[in-house]
Structure 1
Amino acid sequence: MKIVSTLLLGLGLSYFFLTNDAPRQYSPLPADPIPFFCAPSLDWSKMKDDHGPLIPAFTLTTFKISSRVDSAQLYFDQGLSQLYAFNHGEAGRSFKTAIRLDPVTPMPYWGLAMVLGPNYNAALNPAALDEINAALKKAKALLGSATQVEKGLIAALDQRFPDAPVEDMTPYNEAYTAAMYKLYQTHATLPDLAVLYIDALMNEHPWNFWQKDGKPQAWTAATVAVIETILKRWPNHPGAIHYYIHATEASQQAELALPFADRLGAMVKGNGHLLHMPSHTYIRTGDYHKGVLVNEAAAASDSVYISQCNARGYYPMLLYPHNIHFLAACAFLEGNSSKAIEAAWMVSKLADRKYLAENVTVQHFYSIPYYVLVQLEKWEDILQLPMPGESLLYPRAIWHYARGMALAATSDFQQADQELRALEKIASDKTLEKQLIWELNTAQQLVSMAGLVLKGELDARQGNITAAIPVFKEAIGLEDQLNYNEPPDWFFSNRLRLGSWLLKSGDFSGAERVYSEDLQTFRENGWALHGLHKALLAQGKKSAAANVQARFIKAWQWADVKLN
């Protein structure tokens, strides 16, 4: 059959429409305002609706549907693959294109309803229910040509959505999961049914599988066991690996996913979010340089995809900058200041100004340079930064925090105190309590923490370390109460600052304890290892200090920061 192909430089992506080749088995910014919580956040008209590109690298699985149109099958496979990759906008465009190519086959309508529904990163948008139910109605009207598996999937998904918005989606989610479990049990040889069952389980408790101390929730063990069982049978399914990384990252055994994380990249070239996903494991296992490398690859891949394929919505607005945000975090933790600063400014630049006033997650991206420059003590650079606009409460608060830290470090205590007062005034604004970053933590939590850190720093810099220590401990208490997110929303650990001041105060055993605690969260990070080494030496613990120093040398091999 005739193949129409256009080479996309950098990824080797092709647009093509008809082919008999089987897809391989598992082996810049949005133009229109969109609400963050939508899934997918997509302007269909701007996406050219049902004329999406067919990108060979984007097809990661094959799920045979009852279509006689080869190209519709290809677009369906791409849509399902991108559903696993959390590129819901491209998945939706693929399913829409499959509908255009074969309007009488039911499964592309099922796929469209799936991507318009909730996902692990975003709750159901009630405004999408009409389109979801319309797609399901069409799918049900076409069941005469459907296989038993297709009928089961459509019937299951029909239980997931109410006719009109409801306050509590729990009964619908549970009904959908139960239906998917039956399908999974009945058709145990189909890997994609197994992974769709995982998807149902994960979306019952998104980002809520582990308590703040790393202990499992009541439902966690059963969900993880299902994923591990499926991975034993299909160890190279990228969707199952993706979910396993998410299911284990906040646990005390994130290393369980390490073998899968290490091999995922080779299977998903061209898929930026999946290329990035191993770093959710690496940042928890102390493999920060691996995190740098995979996020560099992910950012490069997404940059080409977004520009060449006219991607819109949630993916370019949030997931693409997320790669670079993660890069900044991993680079900082390995001591690579130049990469950390470069990535911080890049993610700030990618914070789409059209959504800055209304989307606090975008504001968080915008503010990352303030955090990174404070951690790296780039005081003169900070003092040159202009103040964000009056309407940007959260970025403006963190700007005051950064300036206050810089002024305190350069002994301008009077001006630093003025920055603290400005910061505390913003912290009292109740609107910050409703401004959520990734729907996980509030801007108010971060701004309050910033105020405590600056207050403690002012006390300590003026010689009152005794007064500063409990203030830093209070900031650590707030940090420990944050919901889990990666990278952490507070950029970076307050224990590093407390440990430094404990060393300066002569409380070496206290510093040892604090740095050891930090290493439980950010394993093998050189900042804490260096402080721990100094604390041990000061107590005469030479053997333990030598061991820590060897670990530090390994951890710091990619660093450009010299620690005194």
Structure 2
Amino acid sequence: MKTARLMALTFSLAVATASPAWLYGADTPLNATAEKLGEVNFPVSCSADAQKEFNRAMALFHSFWFDPAKVAFAKVLEHDPGCGMAHWGIAFMSMGNPYTWAANPNAAAAGAPAAAEAQRVGAKSERENAYIGALALLLKDWQTSEFRPRALAYEKAMEGVTRQYPEDDEARILYALALNITASPTDKSFTNQLKAAAILEPLFKKYPNHPGVAHYLIHTYDYAELAEKGLPYARAYAAIAPSVPHALHMPSHIFSRVGLWPEMVEGDRASYLAAKAELKESTLGIGAYDALHAMDYMVFGHLQQAQDNAAKALLDEAAAISKVNVENFVAAYAFAAIPSRFALERGDWKQAAQLKLTPGDLAWHKFPQSEAILVFARGLGAARSGDVAAAREDVSRLEALKAALTAANNSYWAGQTDVQVQTVNAWIALADGRNDEALRLMRAAAEAEEASDKHPVTPGNVVPSRELLGEVLLITNQPTQALAEFERSLKRDPQRLRGIYGAARAAEASGNRQAAADYYRKLLEITAKRDTERSELVQAKAFIESQ
């Protein structure tokens, strides 16, 4: 543990001065102690002192700073024990990130007691009782019913609140959040997201310092096809609530979509440091939602810039953690994704084939979708290393994890795991010389992956399926088709190092030397601040010098 603490401290000192000024605003020094959460005015029929604390609690709420928000709502009750909306807030925050509710079987159980207390205490206004009633629908019969119908009932109830109280902007903000929560990942018309944006964008002009408006607009546009629209809000949010680790992190949801890797790393570094500062020394062996979430994003961003040494420092820090302070899906995802990314992004297939779940005593059975990330990476590494038997074992494990997710009605992650199964089977087929089958499976995986979308917990797939399809085409000596697939992949996942390198190789192999030179130059451009001289970059420089 001392080693982990020293490593964390060393890394923190190395990066503490690197946070860009845009994160904090021109007047805010990095060591500022004044709390900055943004501005929220959410009227409730409670005492004057309770109202003031409630506004602060809602500012924390809107930035998903869960534990401090629950403490703040508890303080509201100290001022006014009859403030039913404080129990409403505690219930909402107890459930954790709304974007993970469907995948978190403990969310409803955590929120139900406070929601029931909110109903028992009630409120002095019909408007507030409408909020409490809407939340009750989300949790109604949670032990025996599926999540999605309850979420849709909540969404409709919040729409009803906005219609009954058209001047209540907080209801409109929460309704927009509900639309995002219930948005289908397979709906490529983005019906819910565009409806949410139509609500939130005018409110951003009206309330430019409201944390929830900027925050939810980032989530609204966190899709490859919409990401450019989210840039103004990504650049605004961290300056609105610089005291909140999650607010410092959220802009990277958009930056990762458009390939702004330096901005992504800097924002997540600031979030990571803020989250680490929040933890006590005794809990430095962390599992905090904010810290690990930011670390995963940082590793991803560093690897796209060939900053492998920086990524390795974070990998080692995560590997040194033996006990987490909170076991949740986000922490489990980061523990699985960080080592998987490090191996796959560097093309180290033998390292990928040897991956193991850590920490070993984490309750991995609660998070099959997280385990599947690492098993997939391991299976892909085994297949690409020629160990077909080991790859088949990992396919069997993925099938079992998919069955567990299906049984839990977690259709999204069951679908993602099916894509992983098809992908590893494609590379097994390729290793066996069954090239046509390999291409068929990889095409099916790419189409299925693109019919859905990435989950908000991740900066991106540990490797895009269409990028892998391009690699299969290159290996099977079809460079022209490979170039088309790499270029298509880069439209969905722009500025990816391996995607650009693949396009360069495909263009070179197909005789298109100008396109190859352009891609190789792009590769050197995005890795201008690299800390590792990868073989891909040596090849790029050699090709350009030969022109």
Superposed CA offset, 1:375-408 (max 9, x none): 3133554566557769957577666655555555
The reply to whether residue 376 of structure 1 matches residue 346 of structure 2 is yes
> 1:477 offset after TM fit, Å?
3.6
Structure having the higher helix fraction is 2
Aligned pairs for 1:105-504 (under 5 A) are 108-116=86-94, 119-122=98-101, 125=108, 128-140=111-123, 143=124, 152-162=127-137, 164-165=140-141, 167=145, 168-169=149-150, 170-183=152-165, 185-186=166-167, 193-206=168-181, 208=183, 211=186, 214-217=188-191, 219-250=192-223, 252-307=225-280, 317-347=288-318, 362-368=331-337, 369-379=339-349, 381-382=351-352, 402=377, 405-406=380-381, 413=386, 416-429=387-400, 432-434=403-405, 441-442=412-413, 445=415, 448-460=418-430, 465=435, 467-486=437-456, 487=458, 490-504=461-475
Contact 1:453/1:472 (8 A) holds in 2: yes
Quote the offset at 1:86 in angstroms. Answer: 1.1
Distance 1:267 1:438 in 2: 38
| RMSD of equivalent CA atoms | 4.0
What TM-score results when the alignment is normalised by the length of structure 2? Answer: 0.75
TM-score by length of 1: 0.73
Report what 1:4 is aligned to. Answer: none
User: Equivalents in 2 of 1:424, 1:399: separation in Å?
Assistant: 12
Contact 1:348 1:367 in 2 (8 A): no
Taking the aligned partners of 1:337 and 1:220, their CA distance within structure 2 comes to 36
Alpha-carbon distance in 2 for matches of 1:404, 1:62? 48
Partner residue, 1:98: 76
Cα distance in 2, alignment partners of residues 448 and 171 from structure 1 = 29
Distance (Å, rounded) in 2 between the aligned partners of 1:407 and 1:220: 39
Asked if the contact 2:92/2:111 (under 8 Å) is kept, the reply is: no
- Which structure has the bigger radius of gyration? 1
| Alpha-carbon distance, 1:279 to partner | 0.7
Aligned counterparts of 2:262 and 2:408: Cα–Cα separation in 1: 26
Residue 499 of structure 1, CA deviation: 1.9
Segment of structure 1 superposing worse, 276-285 or 160-169: 160-169
1:535 aligns with 2:475: no
Q: What is the identity percentage for the equivalent residue pairs of Structure 1 and Structure 2?
A: 18
In structure 2, distance between residues paired with 1:136 and 1:520: 49
Other structure's SS at 1:484 match: coil
Structure 2 letter corresponding to 1:551 = K
Letter in 2 for 1:283: S
Alignment correspondent of 2:4 = none
**Tell me, which stretches of 5 or more residues in structure 2 are unaligned?**
1-8, 13-24, 540-547
Instruction: State the shift of 1:529 in Å.
Output: 2.0
- Give, in angstroms, the shift of residue 99 of structure 1: 1.1
Task: Report the Cα offset of residue 79 of structure 1.
Answer: 0.9
Q: Say if 1:447 and 1:161 are closer, same or farther in 2 by CA, change over 3 A.
A: closer
Judged with a 3 Å threshold, the aligned counterparts in structure 2 of structure 1 residues 65 and 361 are, in CA distance, closer, same or farther, namely closer
Cα distance between partner residues in 2 of 1:122 and 1:397: 19
Match of 2:58 among 68, 77, 80: 80
The whole-number CA distance in structure 1 between the counterparts of 2:409 and 2:247 is 19
